[in-house]
A and B are shown apart, each in its own frame.
Chain A
Amino acid sequence: MDPRESLTIAARSIRSHRLRSALTVIGVVIGIASVVTFATFGASVETEIVGGVAESGANNVYVLSQPADEGGFQQGLQPVFTERDVNQLGQIEGVEAVVPRGAVQVNSVGHRGDTVAIQQATATVPAAFTNDTLVDGRSFRAGANETVLNQAAARTVFAENVSVGDTIAVARNDEMLNLTVVGITDGTAGELPVGQFGQQASIYVPADPYYDTVVESPNRGVRQRAYPQLTVIAEPAETLAVTDSVDAYLQSESDARQLAPAGVELVARTSGDFAEQISDVISQITRFVTGIAVIALVVGAIGIANIMLVSVTERTREIGIMKAVGARNRDVMELFLVEATLLGTGGALVGLPLGLAVAWGAAQYAEVGFALAPFWSALAVLVGVLVGVVAGLYPAWRAARVDPIDALRYE
């Protein structure tokens, strides 16, 4: 039959039951909006985090130890990288700097009479601070009673803002260190990309003389400072070659190789590797949550099927009339299928923008940039239409099989 006519008749039938049709469509709207929301919000978070990781120090090679059998990069950070390793890595061609990082246990930190309990300071080297990251002042010098604070530490920890030239009093064990603040920084060179998302207050001190985790260097035979993590900053064009060289050094002549306990492996990672790992985790979560949202879509489909079955029963007599004036079974089927498909399509057309809007709101709330998930959005609309078709199939088939003689007698 004329497709325009089936559309007209189906649309009129939907309009004649406005409330019922609207409620049915809401089921599909919720399903599709949920899928689009979760997929889009997941994509936004992924883009934000992965983008952040990838652009922060693409020329950094992170050297760390991790359990060989588990993937987590934060576990098993062991102080195995000695000063000898730091020096040796610094000799590799294409390396600009090697930045070790370790924790110094402290009890409290005071500034102008305001003393705050702080568990640890970060020990590192002057090269960790560059003009790119320093907001004010300069880097500390090795061996000096100097410190650098990040902006969170300078602004939020103490009653009064800390500025360059101030002195802070660091209590460690039984001694009190008076350190001059020489710089305020916004992050450090070679910082682990995952560390950047919690803008925690950090106080940086020179590893020499304050870092006190020492082991005996197997190659030198003397006790040396040993760090759980190093960052090798490569010349940008040499990052790949440096990564290979660093890895080769780690697996052969490094102190770390001998110090690392069984079951711990040494790895050299670029920020791209981290980005990939994080991306994998986020997209797994996104797929899982989106999968749950699909349940809502299934419920929506059942709603359509249900209302279409009711509709077939209610319109038995109309089906009989249509058959009496020449409708073939497939004409009747077409009418009901078109009606169910219109409901599904309507749900998709309302659900898609709604889902995008909610995802946008969530992205604003979570303070991540909004990114579209075009594949999932297109799929959601397609599924909405399909949901209508599938949900309409059985009712339409029932309608087509109505016996016109019985139907015309039906009250």
Chain B
Amino acid sequence: MAQTAADSVVDLVDVRKTYELGGVVEALAGVSLTLAEGSYTAVMGPSGSGKSTLLNLIGGLDTPTEGTVTVGGRDLSTATEDERAAVRGSEVGFVFQTFNLMPRLTAVENVALPLVFDGWEREERRDRARELLGDVGLGDRIDHRPTELSGGQRQRVAIARALAPDPQLILADEPTGNVDTETGEQIMTLLGELHEAGNTILLVTHERRIAEHAERIVHVRDGTVERIEEVA
């Protein structure tokens, strides 16, 4: 079934990515993928399958060797570095396995950080960050540093940060990889709620149990899409 450009958030057309690492390594060998607005997609595959490269390309951290990557209507394969920075800041929200919070900033400052680079006013940034921390259940922890928070709390701060610029897409890279199973379930529940609220989510994982929270699972192997599985 063909998606029209109007309601797709991400469009990958025959994307290839090669690295020169003492010989040419082909991380992605022609991947085409579309993420519809409001969809919840999981990318699964063993390590070295190319799923991290796929995430980096969609997130605007990297550019393809060939093919086009369109995010929110912008072609990232021809975008300048500053334009990609703007996409990372306002179109995409990252959630990392290792949380990647700024250690010296408080929770509310971490959540507000993308808005700093997006040119928001100080008061608006703080209000927005407070509101989002309340939404993820950390309203009483806004002035805590990451070291004063548990793993699950840190990941919820990271999710609030990803939501701050009201992005078109949330990219979650093994979001449960560094927390215990119970906390992982809470994180997945939170992501599910975000999906229900209309957010488009791309989840990268190697655990089937986690991937099954999505609507469909894209299996990646050796730099190509092996198959796309719809979750019942």
A residues bordering B, Cβ < 8 Å? 1-2, 4-5, 9, 12-13, 16, 317-318, 320-329, 331, 404-405, 408
A405 contacts B61, C-beta separation under 8 Å: yes
Q: List the A side residues contacting B117 at CB < 8 Å.
A: 1, 322, 325-328, 331
Q: List the B side residues contacting A329 at CB < 8 Å.
A: 81-82, 85
B residues bordering A, Cβ < 8 Å? 56, 59, 61-62, 81-82, 85-86, 88-90, 94, 96, 100-105, 113-114, 116-119, 122, 161, 165
Contact residue among B62, B81, B100, B122 (Cβ-Cβ distance under 8 Å from A321): B100
A408 to B102 alpha-carbon distance, docked (Å): 12
A26 to B81 alpha-carbon distance, docked (Å): 38
A322 to B122 alpha-carbon distance, docked (Å): 17
A-B contact count (CB 8 A): 67
Interface of A is mostly: helix
A320 contacts B122, C-beta separation under 8 Å: no
A408 contacts B96, C-beta separation under 8 Å: yes
Q: Give chain A nearest CB distance to B230 CB in angstroms.
A: 31
Q: List the A side residues contacting B114 at CB < 8 Å.
A: 325-326
Q: Give chain A nearest CB distance to B19 CB in angstroms.
A: 11
Q: List the A side residues contacting B56 at CB < 8 Å.
A: 405
A325 contacts B89, C-beta separation under 8 Å: yes
A1 to B118 alpha-carbon distance, docked (Å): 8
Whether A326 touches B90, Cβ cut-off 8 Å, given contacts A318-B103, A405-B56, A408-B100, is: yes
Q: List the B side residues contacting A322 at CB < 8 Å.
A: 102, 113, 117
A3 to B96 alpha-carbon distance, docked (Å): 28
Q: List the A side residues contacting B89 at CB < 8 Å.
A: 325-327
A325 contacts B104, C-beta separation under 8 Å: no
A326 to B92 alpha-carbon distance, docked (Å): 9
Beyond A2-B116, A4-B122, 15 additional contacts (C-beta under 8 Å) are: A1-B119, A5-B116, A9-B105, A12-B104, A318-B103, A321-B102, A322-B117, A324-B96, A325-B114, A326-B85, A326-B86, A328-B86, A329-B81, A329-B82, A405-B56
Q: Give chain B nearest CB distance to A1 CB in angstroms.
A: 6
Contact residue among B81, B104, B118, B161 (Cβ-Cβ distance under 8 Å from A13): B104
Q: Give chain B nearest CB distance to A402 CB in angstroms.
A: 12
A328 contacts B82, C-beta separation under 8 Å: yes
Residue of B94, B100, B165 most packed against chain A (CB within 10 A): B100
Q: List the A side residues contacting B165 at CB < 8 Å.
A: 326
Q: List 19 A-B contacts (CB under 8 A).
A: A1-B116, A1-B117, A12-B105, A321-B101, A321-B102, A322-B102, A322-B113, A323-B61, A324-B61, A324-B88, A325-B113, A325-B114, A326-B85, A326-B114, A327-B85, A328-B82, A329-B82, A404-B61, A405-B61
